[in-house]
Amino acid sequence: MTEHHHDAGGTDAGTAAQLWDERYRSRPRVWSGRPNPQLVAEASGLQPGSALDLGCGEGADALWLATQGWTVTALDVSAVALERAAAHAREVGQDGNIEWVQQDLATWVPDRQYDLVSAQFLHSTLLPWQQGLRLAAAAVRTGGTLLIVGHHPDGLPSWGNHHSHEQYFTAEEVAQELRIEAPEWRRDVLDIRVRSATGPDGEAAELTDAVLRATRIAR
Ligand SMILES: C[S@@+](CC[C@H](N)C(=O)[O-])C[C@H]1O[C@@H](n2cnc3c(N)ncnc32)[C@H](O)[C@@H]1O
């Protein structure tokens, strides 16, 4: 699921669910099927507990977390993506550890808190990142971890539709917008990471990730 990050085409017609369902239906598989590298790097050292994956897409991150011992809630607006993700999890015997939730973050309100909340490339023309990521922060329990990864605005993929720059953020912008600061939060990682990736047509590329990891100290 990591490398083939196209973002939804920039039309305001229809709902987020329609837009993303259409996007997922356009290919039998949209993402790579591998967990995102910054998730693996940042979550490998954590004690497994409950995890929420916001915008889980085809489920590679949720599946990876489940295999690491996490109990996962994986949320996405696209029923097409979720069906694909759930089928894959069943195939590899991990469906018992993952709950798939179809919700639109424009209206969803978290009703519980998690030890880890991960939002990986939650970029959409129909959802301001500030709105989605604020929900992510709100869902972290005291002592828990917030992990936000996105395309850095200065290192966007050359493929797909990555032209609306307001969809992208730096780790500093996220920290400022969400008030990830003392005494409520400890900032563990604010980083820019360049990595090699492969585009949808096999082209080699370098992508730049914005990475924020923080621990909630208090509410
Ligand atoms: C760029 S993809 C990233 C998917 C996955 N996290 C990954 O890293 O491969 C963004 C995901 O967010 C989901 N999404 C977009 N808008 C959403 C919304 N309003 N509510 C919930 N999910 C949304 C899309 O369906 C899509 O699966």
Report yes or no on 6 lying in a domain: no
Which one of 65, 73, 76, 169 would you pick to mutate in the ligand 1 pocket, going by the greatest count of ligand atoms within 8 A of its CB? 76
Q: Is residue 145 part of a domain?
A: yes
Residue 7 lies in a domain: no
Q: Give the residue whose CA is nearest to atom 9 of ligand 1.
A: 1
- Ligand 1 atom, smallest distance to 105 CA: 20
Cβ of 150 closer than 6 Å to ligand 1, yes or no, is no
Q: Is 144 helix (H, G, I), strand (E, B) or coil?
A: strand
3 lies in some domain: no
Is residue 124 classed exposed, middle or buried when 0-12, 13-18 and 19+ CB atoms within 10 A define those classes?
buried
Q: By alpha-carbon position, which residue is closest to atom 27 of ligand 1?
A: 57
Kindly state the tokens that stand for 92: 């590899």
Residue with tokens 């998690």: 114
Residue 4 lies in a domain: no
Nearest to 10 by CA among 130, 107, 127: 127
Nearest atom in ligand 1 to the alpha carbon of residue 122 is: 10
Answer yes or no: is 2 within a domain. no
Q: Which domain holds residue 93?
A: 16-216
User: In 3D, which of 119, 126, 207 has the Cα closest to residue 159?
Assistant: 207
Instruction: Establish if 178 belongs to a structural domain.
Output: yes
- For residue 139, give the amino acid letter: A
Domain count, the chain: 1
38 Cβ closer than 6 Å to some ligand 1 atom:
no
Run of H or E residues at 214: strand 204-216
Range list of H helices, 71-165: 79-91, 129-138
Mutate to test the pocket of ligand 1, among 121, 131, 167, 195 (most ligand atoms within 8 A of CB): 121
Which among 117, 19, 112 is positioned nearest to 62, based on CA atoms? 117
CATH number for the domain spanning 198: value is: 3.40.50.150
**In the chain, helix, strand, coil percent, each to 5?**
30, 30, 45
For residue 119 the two structure tokens come to 């939002």
| Residue 163 CA, ligand 1 centroid: distance in Å | 17
CA pair distance 57, 105, nearest whole angstrom: 13
Q: Tens place of pLDDT for every residue, the chain, 219 residues?
A: 333 344 444 444 579 999 999 999 998 887 778 999 999 999 999 999 999 999 999 999 999 999 999 999 999 999 999 999 999 999 999 999 999 999 999 999 999 999 999 999 999 999 999 999 999 999 999 999 999 999 999 989 888 888 788 999 999 999 999 999 999 999 999 999 999 988 878 889 999 999 999 999 998
24 falls within a domain: yes
